A and B are shown apart, each in its own frame.
Chain A
C-alpha cells in the first residue's frame, strides 16, 4: 500500500468524481426545477443550467393555502411521536440492557422481527380499527400509527446505548446510598443523553418523512409527504418540486447535525426504506 502508482491514483479520483456527481445531480435538479420557468423544463430538451430564475412556483405554493396546514400537521405529529417514543422507550431500553443475556437476545430479536412485517399489512387493520375509534384524520391517530415503526427502531438504538454504560457506575452509586430512581436520573440518564438525543432526532425525522400510514389514515387533512404525493398524482411538476424542497429542509439540517454520530452501530435498526 505504501507506494501507490499514479495509475491507481487516477482511478481513485475518477471514481470519487463520478460517485459525487451521481449523489449531487438529483438534488441539484430538484432545486433547479423549483426555480425554473416552465419552458425550460416541460420540453423535449430540458436545460441543464438555470437560465431564467423565477420565484413564481414558490409564491404559488405559499399563497395556495395548502402549505401551512400540512406543515403544522407534520410538525405536530412528528414532535408528539418523538416525545411519546422517548417516554415509552427510554425506560424499556434501559431495562432490556440490564436483562440477562438470553432474555435480552429474545427482546432484540423480537424488535428486529417486527421490522420485517410489511407496513401495508399492519396499516390495513389499523385503519379499520381507527375508523371505529374515530381516529382517522386526527393527529393523535397518526401519532399512534407512527409509533408502531418508531418504538422498535428507537429501542434498537437505545439498548445499544445503555448496554455501553458499565454496571460499576450504578453499583458505586448504590453503595453511596442512592435509590434506584436517583441512580437512574442522576447517573445513567446523563451518560446516555447523547444517544437518547440522537435517537429522538431520528424518530422525529422518520415520522416527518412517513408516508404509508399517513396515506392509509388520512382522508382530508394531509401531511407534507401526502401533499407532495397529491401533486405527483395531478402532475403538478413545479409544486411538487417546491413542496419536496420544503419537506427536505429540516431533514437536511438535522442530518447535518447528526452526521458525526452516524456510526454503523446506530444503523442496525436505522436502515429504513
Chain B
C-alpha cells in the first residue's frame, strides 16, 4: 500500500483537490438535499410528511407533468429539427461556411438573453403574434405564455433555439463519420432517398442520437432559467418549483422537490439505455 502511494504520489497529489471538491461541494450537498426532504422543516425530525404535503399540492403535481411534457416536446423537436439541419448542412451549397456560422450563433447567446429575446417574440404584443396577424392567420393576439399546453411549446421552442447548435454539431459529427461507401452500396441496390435515410443513416447514427438524447434530456429535466423568465410562476417546473419553496423558506419541500427531479432523471436515463438504446449507443459512443 505504501509502495503504491509512493509510486503514484504525483498522480494522487494531482487528483486530490478535484476529488475533494466534488465530494465536498457536490456529493455531500446532494446527500444533504435528499435528507432535508425527509426531515421536518422546523423540528428536523425524520418524517414523510414533506412528501405527503408535496404530492397533495396541485402545483407540484403540475410541475412534474410540465417537466416531463417539456422534455418530451423539446426532445422531439430538437432531434428531428437538429437532424434536418444537420442533413442540410451536410449538403454542398454556396455560402455553406457562413450558414454554418449562423446556425451556431445562438450558442454565443447566454441562455438568459435568449429567454429575454423570446419574451419579445412570444409576448402577447410580441412579434410572433404580429407576424401571424400580418399574414392574416389570426385576428386576436394569442396569449402564448398563459399557462396551457402552448406554454410548454413556447418553452420547448425557446430551449430548442438555444440548444439547436449543440444538437446539430453532435449529429453532424455522427453524420460525417458515416462512410460514403455505405451509401454507394445502397444506391447500387437501388434504394430511394427515404430508404437510405430510414435503413442506412438512422441506424448508423444511433450512437450519436443516443448521446444527444441523454445529454439533452438531463438538461431539459433541470430546465430553470427559461421558465423562470418566460412564464414566471404561472407554469411550474420541478426546478422552478423547488426554487419557489426555497424562496418561501420551505427548505424541506425544496429538498424533496429536487430529490423527485433527481429520481426522474435517473429513471429516464435507465429506461432509455434499457429499452431504446439496449446498450448499443453508449458502449460505442463515449
B182 in contact (CB, < 8 A): no
Q: Which stretch (A169-177, A189-197, A241-249) binds chain B?
A: A241-249
* Interface core residue of B13, B21, B257 (most chain A CB under 10 Å): B21
Segment from B53-61, B142-150, B239-247, B273-281 that makes contact with A:
B239-247
In contact, B14 and A91 (Cβ under 8 angstroms): yes
A25 to B157, CA, bound (A): 14
Interface flag for B105 (CB, 8 Å): yes
Asked if B103 contacts A23 (CB within 8 A), the reply is yes
Fill in one digit per residue for B217-236: 1 if any A CB lies within 8 Å of its CB, else 0.
01111111100110010000
In the assembly, what is the distance between CA of A43 and CA of B127, in Å? 11
Q: Which residues of B contact A232 (CB under 8 A)?
A: 115-116, 119, 229
- Which residues of B111-131 are within 8 A (CB) of A? 111-121, 125-127, 130
A99 sits at the interface (CB 8 A): yes
Cα distance A129–B225 in the bound complex, in angstroms: 23
Residue interface mask B4-21, A partner, CB < 8 A = 1 = 000000111111011101
The one of A19, A225, A268 in contact with B112, judged by C-beta atoms closer than 8 angstroms, is A225
Asked if A120 and B218 sit within 8 Å, CB to CB, the answer is no
Partner of A247 from the list B112, B130, B161, B286 (CB cut-off 8 Å) is B112
CB distance from A39 to the nearest CB of B (A): 12
Q: Which of A123-162 contact B (CB under 8 A)?
A: 124-129, 144, 147-148, 151-152, 155
Chain B min CB distance to A32 (Å): 9
Contact of B108 among A155, A244, A248 (CB under 8 A): A248
A45/B219 in contact, CB under 8 A = no
Verify if B106 is at the interface (C-beta below 8 Å from A).
yes
* With known contacts A46-B127, A98-B11, A211-B224, A26–B25 Cβ distance under 8 A: no
Are A42 and B21 closer than 8 Å at their CB atoms?
no
Given the contacts A212-B225, A248-B113, A271-B166, A124 and B104 also touching, CB distance less than 8 Å: no
Does residue A16 face the partner (Cβ distance < 8 Å to B)? yes
**Cα distance, A252 to B70, chains bound together (Å):** 28
A272 near B26 (CB under 8 angstroms)?
no
Which applies to chain A's interface (DSSP): helix, strand, loop or mixed?
A: helix
Contact A120 B224 (CB under 8 A): yes
Residue ID in chain A nearest B238 by CB atoms:
A118
Of the listed stretches B44-52, B169-177, B197-205, chain A binds: B169-177
When A and B form their complex, what is the total count of cross-chain residue pairs whose Cβ atoms lie within 8 Å?
258
Q: A87-107: contact bitstring with B at CB < 8 Å (1 yes, 0 no)? A: 011011011101100000000
Contact A228 B166 (CB under 8 A): no
Chain B residues 26-54 with CB under 8 Å of chain A are 26-30, 32-34, 36
Chain A min CB distance to B126 (Å) = 7
Closest partner residue, chain B, to A268 (CB atom): B286
Check A267 for interface membership: any CB of B closer than 8 A: yes
Nearest A-chain residue to B141, judged by Cβ: A44
Contacts A16-B99, A20-B102, A29-B120 given; indicate if A119 touches B25 (C-beta within 8 A).
no
The closest CB in chain B to the CB of A94 belongs to B14
Q: Report the separation of the CA atoms of residues A192 and B200 in the bound assembly, to the nearest whole angstrom.
A: 37
Contact with B along A1-21 (1 / 0, CB 8 A): 100000001001101100110
Interface flag for B152 (CB, 8 Å): no
* Contact in complex: B110, A212 (CB < 8 Å): no
- Contact present for A16 and B93 (CB under 8 Å): yes
Mind listing 9 A-B residue pairs with CB under 8 Å?
A23-B106, A27-B109, A89-B18, A91-B17, A120-B239, A228-B116, A244-B112, A267-B170, A268-B215
Other A-B pairs beyond A25-B121, A29-B127, A111-B22, 11, CB < 8 Å = A9-B93, A16-B95, A29-B120, A46-B127, A118-B239, A118-B242, A120-B258, A209-B110, A209-B112, A264-B169, A265-B173
